[in-house]
């Protein structure tokens, strides 16, 4: 019985860690640097990297279901209610993208949308 329980626990751990694509801190920093995030809207590259880590632990396929029915997507956890379109959900879609575009290892779409978020939010990076 105990052996079966440990086997089940091990399998559950493998399934949880197998989800998503995790980038390293250096990979995230390099991509964001190349995408012009360092200094964008007055925020350093370190600010952007820390935000990505805090929001998703650098998991490019992270999704979080919010209590209001919206979903946060990608490395910056960009919300479907305001910034991207998810299915038939009502959205402002200010970034003009499908939310699924935020779930890749190429951070170009994430960075472009994050620039829109920080520029169009009344409190800048405080939007996160």
Nearest to 38 by CA among 102, 103, 56, 30: 30
Distance CA 94, CA 6 (A): 47
Q: 64 pairs with which residues across the strands?
A: 72
Distance CA 93, CA 123 (A): 19
Catalytic residue among 68, 72, 89, 110: 72
Catalytic residue among 21, 38, 55, 101: 55
Rounded to 5°, angle at Cα 68 from 105 and 17: 35
| Whether residue 72 lies in the annotated active site | yes
Tokens 């626990």 locate to 9
**Secondary structure class of 37 (helix, strand, coil):** coil
For 64, other C-beta atoms within 10 Å of its C-beta total: 12
Annotated catalytic sites, by residue?
55, 72
């Amino acid at each position: 019985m105990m052996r079966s329980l440990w086997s089940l626990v091990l399998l559950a751990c493998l399934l949880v860690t197998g989800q998503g694509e995790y980038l390293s801190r250096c990979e995230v920093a390099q991509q964001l640097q190349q995408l012009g995030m360092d200094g964008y809207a007055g925020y350093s590259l370190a600010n952007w990297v820390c935000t990505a880590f805090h929001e998703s632990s650098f998991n490019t396929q992270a999704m979080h279901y919010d209590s209001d029915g919206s979903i946060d997507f990608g490395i910056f956890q960009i919300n479907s209610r305001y910034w991207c379109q998810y299915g038939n959900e009502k959205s402002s879609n200010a970034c003009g993208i499908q939310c699924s575009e935020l779930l890749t290892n190429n951070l170009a779409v994430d960075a472009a949308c994050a620039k829109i978020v920080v520029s169009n939010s009344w409190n800048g990076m405080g939007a996160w």
